[in-house]
């Protein structure tokens, strides 16, 4: 991972909620259309796996996407995200609503996004991250650039980093060796 | 940014039956509201939302922008939320159907304030008469230094500890430098917030005061208040209606 700010670890320690963009972060940005107008996207199971653990540890997890499709809505429901908004034109408004709804400060929210529409949140939130294949002008505006590209486990990388910074990752692994906590 | 005005126009008003369809010199009250809203420069569309076929029929003579809503909504906010769900827009301005003298400039000011991305905006007017202060139908609002609402109440807020009796018993108009504000029921919301708002549970304070806007504050959200010199002439009673007719004669 590339760290653009030198207090990233301190920032990560304060995080209580992780928000992310879908296309280009949770997926590689590709969208497959069939003749009936149906959309298909490929998700990475590594991203989905960690969400149950995050939620069990009282993290709030959410997605804000500019696009609107059933396939994404279904995936968000399946992952039991606390918050997901689709077809959003101004992400900052949804971010402000999210903040108030869960009584959070900017410092407590991590955001992962990869495009211009995400910038307003990236520059405000407590910890900002973008995938390795984001444009240079996005990379310049975040705390962390992951080694992974969109759809390759970007969300997992940031989640692990945050869990690690709060000494939660090690205990999670130790516990998991003894019991199955897939909920 | 696409900004629309929605005018909720209900027919069953308890104090003044059929009020939005009452005639004000050749035009219904709701038509006058609609025409005032059309004068606003930075608005994309104006809609009338109603649960009544009678209102629908009447309004069809001057507009196609009529949205039919269910008649089961518990609150005005729910009605507006239902109305705009399928409309592509970013900001909704809610102007009551009984405000035929609403100033276009005020709506313009309201929609301009969304450049700074607040989630909800409303309007207040400085109270002149002590009589209005005592009236429980005149909703009072207090604000912080950023002009964000701290509380809405039918009681008098704030209390004036040192000169309370003097103020209420010996004054007809409110003396300087005291300031009390009346809340006017004109709202602007981002669509995202409106949908969130209609999902929130009714709050304790909201139920006590019978003021829906308190739900927003009870859930921790802010309402930006704009001060205006426009004094709402909402039409609630026969007396209000007669006053409105007189006012039209003067113009």
A183 domain residue, yes or no: no
Query: For residue B18, what are the contacts with CB-CB under 8 A and spacing of at least 6?
Result: B11, B54
Asked if B114 has any chain A CB less than 8 Å from its own CB, the reply is no
Q: What is the pTM of this model?
A: 0.82
Asked if B28 has any chain A CB less than 8 Å from its own CB, the reply is no
Please state the domain count of chain A: 1
Give the residue, B5 or B201, on which the prediction is more confident: B5
Residue A179 confidence (pLDDT): 64
Specify which residues A129 forms β-bridges with: A112, A144
Cα gap A81→A150, rounded to integer Å = 19
Cα gap B248→B27, rounded to integer Å = 11
Coil vs helix vs strand at A20: strand
Taking the CA of residue B107 and the nearest CA in chain A, the distance in Å comes to 21
Cα gap B9→B20, rounded to integer Å = 7
C-alpha to C-alpha distances, B204 to A82, B77, B141, B182, B214, nearest whole angstrom:
25, 17, 18, 22, 9
Residue A57 confidence (pLDDT): 95
C-alpha to C-alpha distances, B56 to A178, B24, B38, B76, B238, nearest whole angstrom:
67, 18, 18, 18, 23
A141 domain residue, yes or no: yes
Average pLDDT over chain B reads 91
pLDDT band at A182 (very low <50, low <70, confident <90, very high): low
Please tell me the least confidently modeled range out of A7-16, A42-51, B7-16, B111-120: B7-16
Taking the CA of residue A72 and the nearest CA in chain B, the distance in Å comes to 19
Q: What is the DSSP letter of A108?
A: G
Q: Please indicate whether, in this complex, the C-beta atoms of B90 and A94 are within 8 angstroms of each other.
A: no
For the record, the structure tokens of B61 come out as 């003579």
For the record, the structure tokens of B11 come out as 């027919």
Nearest to A92 among B117, B220, B222 (CB): B117
Q: Please indicate whether, in this complex, the C-beta atoms of B221 and A100 are within 8 angstroms of each other.
A: yes
Per-residue burial over B124-158, b = 16 or more CB atoms within 10 Å of its CB, e = otherwise: bbebeebebbeeeebbbbbbeeeebbebbbeebee
Residue A129's CATH number: 3.40.50.1000
Residue B234 confidence (pLDDT): 75
Q: A 123-142 residues with CB below 8 A of B?
A: none
Q: What percent of chain B has pLDDT over 70?
A: 98
A83 domain residue, yes or no: yes
Residue with tokens 């276009």: B104
B93 with B111: CB under 8 angstroms? yes
State pLDDT tens for residues A54-65.
999 999 999 999
Nearest to A93 among B119, B220, B222 (CB): B119
Give the residue, B10 or A67, on which the prediction is more confident: A67
A79 with A183: CB under 8 angstroms? no
Coil vs helix vs strand at B67: strand
For the record, the structure tokens of B66 come out as 């009529």
Tell me which H or E stretch contains A134: none
Q: How many CB atoms lie within 10 A of CB A82?
A: 18
Best mutation site among B196, B200, B222 for testing chain A: the one with the most A CBs within 10 Å? B196
pLDDT band at B11 (very low <50, low <70, confident <90, very high): confident
Residue A62 confidence (pLDDT): 97
Report the largest interatomic distance among the alpha carbons of chain A, rounded to a whole angstrom: 49
Cα gap A31→A39, rounded to integer Å = 6
Break chain B into its structural domains and give their ranges: 3-122+183-250
Q: Please indicate whether, in this complex, the C-beta atoms of A101 and B119 are within 8 angstroms of each other.
A: no
ipTM above 0.90, yes or no: no
Q: Is the dihedral of CA B246, B248, B249, B250 positive or negative?
A: positive
Residue B118 confidence (pLDDT): 79
Asked if A85 has any chain B CB less than 8 Å from its own CB, the reply is yes
Residue B116 confidence (pLDDT): 76
Residue A183 pLDDT > 60: no
Residue B5 pLDDT > 80: yes
Q: Please indicate whether, in this complex, the C-beta atoms of A97 and B90 are within 8 angstroms of each other.
A: no
Partners of A97 on chain B (C-beta within 8 Å) are: 119, 192-193, 196, 221
Residue A165 pLDDT > 80: yes
Q: B 45-104 residues with CB below 8 A of A?
A: 90
A32 domain residue, yes or no: yes
Domain that holds residue A134: 2-178
Query: For residue B246, what are the contacts with CB-CB under 8 A and spacing of at least 6?
Result: none
Cis amide bond preceding B59, omega within 30: no
Report the largest interatomic distance among the alpha carbons of chain B, rounded to a whole angstrom: 57
Taking the CA of residue B4 and the nearest CA in chain A, the distance in Å comes to 16
**Check whether domain B3-122+183-250 has CATH 3.90.550.10, yes or no:** yes
Per-residue burial over B37-70, b = 16 or more CB atoms within 10 Å of its CB, e = otherwise: beebeebeebbbbbbbeebeebbeeeeebbbebe
DSSP A22-50: IIIIIS-S--EE-TTS-EE----HHHHHH
Residue B232 confidence (pLDDT): 75
Cα gap A66→A118, rounded to integer Å = 10
Residue B211 confidence (pLDDT): 94
Residue B17 confidence (pLDDT): 81
Cα gap B72→B92, rounded to integer Å = 22
Residue B77 pLDDT > 60: yes
Average pLDDT estimate for B9-26: 84
State pLDDT tens for residues A105-150.
999 999 999 999 999 999 999 999 999 999 999 999 999 999 999 9
A134 domain residue, yes or no: yes
With 0-12 / 13-18 / 19 or more C-beta atoms within 10 angstroms meaning exposed / middle / buried, residue A172 is middle
C-alpha to C-alpha distances, B134 to B128, B222, B237, nearest whole angstrom:
12, 26, 19
Residue A167 pLDDT > 90: yes
Taking the CA of residue B104 and the nearest CA in chain A, the distance in Å comes to 26
Residue A181 pLDDT > 70: no
Cα gap A174→B223, rounded to integer Å = 47
State pLDDT tens for residues B135-179.
998 999 999 999 999 999 999 999 999 889 999 999 999 998 999
Partners of A96 on chain B (C-beta within 8 Å) are: 117, 119
With 0-12 / 13-18 / 19 or more C-beta atoms within 10 angstroms meaning exposed / middle / buried, residue B87 is middle
Average pLDDT estimate for B63-83: 86
């Amino acid at each position: 991972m590339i760290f653009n700010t030198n207090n990233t670890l301190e920032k990560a320690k304060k995080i209580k909620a992780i928000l992310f963009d879908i296309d280009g972060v949770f997926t590689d940005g590709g969208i497959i259309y069939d003749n009936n107008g149906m959309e298909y996207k490929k998700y990475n199971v590594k991203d989905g796996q960690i969400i149950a653990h995050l939620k069990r540890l009282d993290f709030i997890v959410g997605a804000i996407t500019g696009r609107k499709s059933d396939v994404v809505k279904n995936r968000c429901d399946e992952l039991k995200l606390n918050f997901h908004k689709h077809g959003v034109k101004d992400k900052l408004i949804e971010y402000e609503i999210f903040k108030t709804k869960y009584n959070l400060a900017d410092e407590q929210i991590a955001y992962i996004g990869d495009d211009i529409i995400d910038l307003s949140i990236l520059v405000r939130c407590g910890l900002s991250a973008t995938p390795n294949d984001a444009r240079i002008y996005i990379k310049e505006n975040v705390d962390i650039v992951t080694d992974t590209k969109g759809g390759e486990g970007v969300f997992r990388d940031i989640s692990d980093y945050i869990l690690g910074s709060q000494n939660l990752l090690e205990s999670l692994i130790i516990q998991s060796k003894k019991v199955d906590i897939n909920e | 940014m696409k900004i629309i005005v929605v005018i909720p126009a209900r027919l069953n008003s308890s104090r003044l039956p059929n009020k939005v369809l009452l005639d004000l010199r050749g035009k219904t009250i709701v038509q006058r509201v609609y025409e005032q809203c059309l004068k606003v420069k930075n608005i994309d569309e104006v809609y009338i939302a109603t649960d009544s076929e009678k209102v629908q029929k009447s309004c069809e003579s001057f507009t196609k922008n009529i949205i039919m809503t269910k008649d089961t909504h518990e609150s005005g906010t729910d009605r507006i939320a239902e109305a705009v769900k399928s409309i592509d827009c970013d900001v909704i301005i809610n102007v009551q159907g009984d405000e035929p003298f609403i100033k276009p400039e005020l709506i313009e000011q309201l929609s301009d304030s969304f450049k700074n991305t607040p989630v909800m905006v409303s309007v207040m007017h400085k109270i002149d008469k002590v009589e209005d202060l005592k009236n429980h139908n005149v909703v009072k609002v207090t604000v912080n230094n950023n002009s964000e609402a701290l509380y809405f109440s039918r009681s008098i807020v704030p209390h004036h500890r040192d000169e309370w009796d003097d103020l209420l018993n010996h004054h007809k108009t409110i003396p300087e430098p005291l300031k009390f504000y009346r809340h006017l029921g004109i709202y602007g919301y981002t669509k995202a917030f409106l949908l969130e708002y209609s999902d929130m549970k009714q709050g304790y304070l909201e139920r006590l005061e019978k003021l829906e806007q308190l739900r927003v504050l009870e859930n921790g959200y802010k309402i930006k208040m704009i001060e205006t010199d426009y004094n709402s002439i909402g039409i609630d009673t026969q007396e209000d209606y007669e006053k409105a007719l007189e006012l039209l004669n003067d113009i």
